[in-house]
Chains A and B, each alone.
Chain A
Amino acid sequence: MTPVLEVRDLHKVFGDLTAVDGISFSVNEGEIYGFLGPNGAGKTTSISMICGLLPPTEGEVLVMGLSIAEDPRGVKRLLGVVPQEVAVYEELSARMNLEFWGGIYGLKGKALRERVNGLLAQVGLDDRAAEPVKNFSGGMKRRLNLAMGLVHDPQLILLDEPTVGIDPQARHKILDIVKQIAADGRTVLYTTHYLEEAEDLCDRLAIIDHGSILAEGTVAELKAKLGEGSLLTVQGGFKAPELAAAAGAVAGLQPVEIIDGRGMLVVGRDGPGVSNALSGLFQAGLAFDDITIKEPNLEDLFLNLTGRELRD
């Protein structure tokens, strides 16, 4: 089966800066594919190349087999883009905004009215449809921003951080709508720097930083890269080499990050167990002020892959 989106060795260079450094991935029909990475990782630049806003320095983008370079109009007809900024006309009503964008794609008459009514209901703005958008809350504007990308019923929807700057309730609403879109058979490429969103929403994820994909897979597959087991975080007055040496002496204890005074270690499920691991560290003469034990998550994976936290 042809993937809905196929990205091959995509590069983007601005002068001395390599914003995107050879990313490749594909997204299948009905899938929500996440791009997880911090600000400046290259997510928006990648989206911009995929939707034809920026020409790639190198590489290829195929949407349902069509190349954006060779048939931009054909590809754009299949795309619905929801930009990171709320790109709406504030003076117009929600209905007028949707009618305009529908008209851009050639929708008119009854078909346009029905589509607009359906979308307004779907994003929960049907009771405020005639009001100027400038009166809306941030969450309502975000929902309209999303609806505007869906008005022509595209095959592939590119969502660039659609929940930035809104409250948890409004975010929850948007995530529900995205899930519904995917459930209706549409394909979604979703960029975010929120771990919880990525874990909750995405069927598959790519962790991206400095323009490169560091890891890709389902959430379970990515977590498994840290090894199954528990994540042990210790803090105290030790030096990094002391903890590294002590951890190396305990079989099945894998260091994730160790710095002076702080260490993160994975205790494998087939390893010594948390109690034995800690005993091993104590026997090495180390003392700790704080010990945390938890299941590893994507944040830990990101830290493991990049040496820094996602929100740095």
Chain B
Amino acid sequence: MRRILHLALHDSRLFLARRENFFFMFIMPTMFMLFFSVVLRGGGPTDVKVFLQVVDADDGFLSRAFIDQLETGQFEVTVLDAAAADTTAYLRRLVIPAGFTDDVLAHREVKLTLTKSAGSDLQYDAAAEVRLRQVQARFLGALVRWGRTAPDSSAPAAVPVVAPADRDRLLALLAAQPVVTVDQEFAGTGRPVPSGAGQSVPGMLTMFMVMTVAIGGAESLTREKLGGTLSRLATTTFSRGEILGGKLLHLGLVAMVQAMVLMAAGQAIGHWHLFGIDFSWGPHFGFIVLGLVPYAFAVAGLTLLLGGLFRTTQQAESLGWLVGMVLAAMGGCWWPLEIMPHGAQVAAAFFPTYWAMKVLHGVVTFGHGLDAVGLPMIVLTIFGIVFAWLGARTMKVSG
């Protein structure tokens, strides 16, 4: 083991002696992480208004009060009358039926209809539903506090009359702090889609762990193979296993150092709220590190395989980039997997980046612990073993 460590530390020193590797490891990933966190900051429907077309077939004072509540409830409302509704396109449409005000005042059941077009965004549709429930609860709460008694049921045809002062009292109740609020929370198997820094920080970490090692490591292995230092090592008392073990350990160490650099960068971004970004690694920092160790192993194995396959340093540089990009895209490092087509989501499971992202989202976004990292760790270890085995078979040590 001492000999393997000797080789791994030497290779790591060599890796850092190359200025371009220093740039790729420290400067570029940090910049990317910061940039994407800023660009994606506040993304998703959480902080933006959701478009909602309202067909007000009632046009009574209660329907107008309800629409006012929609506008204060994070909706971008467009109001149409019933006649214009047939000729106007929409993403989401809420229909307030004729007689809404009278029916509510008469304590009769009223149905509001929310319709979504085929082209509407699922995330924004979900947000619209939740916000509509919130407005509904707020509106009903105010009505209850308004305290109007039900009209005489023996005279159903009578139209309730509301005095102006009484109307003003209802509007004041609607403007006041509500008694009942509806909070939203995803339950069961449904999960929020990571967005903003919650997506970009884990994504950049996962991507650069593979990019830095695959490009720099494969290029370095190819250079050693072509330059003769690898076969020179094989003429020493080091066995082939020790040489490849040293290379694997070095590559794994580089991957973990890259992870630590970006974890520190993510921590700094969240701690100082740089550019208003809100991010935290959460309470289970240790599980993140634990989950990333087999990922580093998988990345090291993959790089050994690439180093064995590449014939020139130019190949290593260009194809290393390509491999890193494909792994990042397919593993969900650039965008949430939830927005990818179903087939791509299934295919993602065959990429180690997917399992690394699963660790990070499980721990960081969903706040889980060991239960989130157990299965990914096993899968990533299997990836590592397979890649390292293939790499050992492919890598030509003896010139």
Query: Residues of A at under 8 Å CB distance from B?
Result: 48, 51-54, 73, 76-77, 79, 81, 83, 85-89, 91-92, 100-101, 103-105, 148
Binds A, one of B81-89, B118-126, B192-200, B224-232: B224-232
- Some 9 contacts from A to B, beta carbons below 8 A apart, are A48-B398, A53-B398, A73-B239, A87-B228, A92-B13, A92-B14, A104-B3, A104-B237, A105-B236
Q: Which residues of B contact A100 (CB under 8 A)?
A: 10
Looking at the assembled complex, report how far the CB atom of A143 sits from the nearest CB atom of chain B, in whole angstroms: 16
Knowing A87-B228, A91-B17 are in contact, say whether A104-B233 is a contact too (CB < 8 A).
Answer: yes
Q: Which A residue's beta carbon lies closest to that of B234?
A: A53
Are B235 and A52 neighbours in the complex by a CB distance under 8 Å? Answer: yes
CB-based contact B237/A81 at 8 Å: no
Give chain B's interface residue range (CB within 8 Å of chain A): 20 to 34
Which of B229, B238, B399 sits near A53, CB closer than 8 Å? B399
- Contact status B6-A54, CB under 8 Å: no
**How distant is the Cα of A86 from the Cα of B227 in the complex, in angstroms?**
7
Q: In the assembled complex, which residues on chain B have CB atoms less than 8 Å from the CB atom of A92?
A: 13-14, 17
Q: CA separation between A79 and B237, bound complex, in Å?
A: 9
Contact of A76 among B10, B228, B236 (CB under 8 A): B236
What CA separation (Å) do A52 and B233 show in the bound complex?
Answer: 11
Least Cβ distance of A33 to chain B in Å?
Answer: 18
Tell me if B148 counts as interface (CB < 8 A to partner A).
no
Question: Contacts A87-B227, A89-B229 given: A76-B235 contact, CB under 8 Å?
Answer: yes
Complex CA distance for A301 and B234, rounded to whole angstroms = 36
Q: Is there a chain A Cβ closer than 8 Å to B18's Cβ?
A: yes
Chain B contacts for A87, CB-based, 8 A:
227-229, 231-232
In Å, the complex CA distance between A18 and B132 comes to 83
Q: Which residues of B contact A148 (CB under 8 A)?
A: 232
In the assembled complex, how far is the CB of residue A92 from the closest CB belonging to chain B, in whole angstroms?
Answer: 6
State the B residues within 8 Å of A (CB). Answer: 3, 6, 10, 13-14, 17-18, 227-229, 231-239, 398-399
- Distance A148 CA – B235 CA, assembled complex (angstroms): 12
Closest residue on chain B to residue A96 by CB atoms: B13
Tell me if A76 and B231 are in contact (CB < 8 A).
no
CA distance A284 to B13 in the complex (A): 76
Q: Which of A48, A51, A88 contacts B229 (CB 8 A)?
A: A88
- Considering the complex of A and B, which 10 residue pairs feature the smallest CB-CB distances, nearest first? A87-B228, A85-B228, A81-B235, A91-B17, A87-B232, A53-B398, A87-B229, A51-B235, A76-B237, A73-B237
What is the total of A-B residue contacts with beta carbons within 8 Å? 56
- How far is it, in angstroms, between the C-alpha of A77 and the C-alpha of B237 when the chains are bound? 6
Q: How many angstroms from the CA of A270 to the CA of B172 in the assembled complex? A: 135
Q: Determine if A81 and B232 form an interchain contact, defined as CB atoms under 8 angstroms apart.
A: yes
CB distance from A97 to the nearest CB of B (A): 10
| CB atoms of A104 and B18 under 8 A apart | no
Contacts of A83 in B (CB 8 A): 228, 231-232, 235, 399
Closest Cβ of chain B to A221, distance in Å, is: 32
A48 partner, pick from B10, B14, B233, B399, beta carbons under 8 A? B399
* Contact indicator A79/B10 (Cβ below 8 Å): no
Majority secondary structure of chain B interface residues (helix, strand, loop or mixed): helix
Q: Which residue, A48, A52, A87, has most C-beta atoms of chain B within 10 A? A: A87
Residues of chain A with a CB closer than 8 A to B399's CB: 48, 53, 83
Min CB distance, A228 to chain B, in Å? Answer: 42
Q: How far is the CB of B377 from chain A (nearest CB, A)?
A: 34
In the assembly, what is the distance between CA of A85 and CA of B231, in Å?
Answer: 11
> How many Å from the CB of A296 to the closest CB on chain B?
37
Q: Are B231 and A53 in contact (CB under 8 A)?
A: yes
Q: Residue of A at shortest CB range from B235?
A: A81
Other-chain residue from A81, A88, A104 in contact with B238 (beta carbon distance below 8 A) = A104
- Tell me whether B237 and A89 are in contact (CB under 8 A): no
Question: Which A residues are CB-close (under 8 A) to B13?
Answer: 92
Q: Is the CB of A105 within 8 A of B237?
A: yes
A88 and B13 alpha carbons, distance in the complex (Å): 15
Residues of B within 8 A of A86 (CB): 227-228
The residue in chain A whose Cβ has the minimal distance to the Cβ of B10 is A100
Q: Most chain-A Cβ atoms within 10 A of its Cβ — which of B10, B18, B233?
A: B10
Q: A83-B399, A87-B232, A104-B6 are in contact. List 17 more A-B contacts (CB 8 A).
A: A52-B235, A76-B236, A79-B235, A81-B232, A83-B228, A86-B227, A87-B228, A91-B17, A91-B18, A101-B236, A103-B10, A104-B233, A104-B236, A104-B238, A105-B236, A105-B237, A148-B232
Give the nearest-CB partner of A73 in chain B: B237
A174 to chain B, nearest CB (A): 17
What are the residues of chain A within 8 A of B228 when measuring CB–CB?
83, 85-87
Contact partners of B238 in chain A: CB under 8 A: 104
Which residues from A are CB-within-8-Å of B14? 89, 91-92
Is the beta-carbon distance between A103 and B18 smaller than 8 angstroms?
A: no
User: CA A89 – CA B223 in complex, angstroms?
Assistant: 10
Report the separation of the CA atoms of residues A48 and B235 in the bound assembly, to the nearest whole angstrom: 9
A81 to B233, CA, bound (A): 10
- Bound together, the chains give a CA A86 to CA B233 distance in angstroms of 13
A101 to B13, CA, bound (A): 14
Asked if B227 and A85 make an inter-chain contact with CB atoms under 8 angstroms apart, the answer reads yes
- Residue of B with least CB distance to A48: B399
- Min CB distance B18 to A, Å, is 6
Residues of A within 8 Å of B227, CB to CB, are 85-87
In angstroms, Cα B237 to Cα A148, docked, is 14
By a CB distance below 8 angstroms, the chain B residues around A88 are 229
Bound complex: CA A103 to CA B236 (Å): 11
Give chain A nearest CB distance to B241 CB in angstroms: 12
A104 to B242, CA, bound (A): 11
A216 to chain B, nearest CB (A): 25
B237 near A103 with CB under 8 A, answer: no
Q: Which residue of B lies closest to A104 (CB)?
A: B236
- Across the two chains, which residue of chain B brings its CB closest to A51? B235
Is the CB–CB distance between A103 and B234 below 8 Å? no
Assembly CA distance A101 to B399 (angstroms): 18
Residues from chain B with Cβ under 8 Å of A81 in the complex: 232, 235
* Chain A hits for B10, CB < 8 A: 100, 103
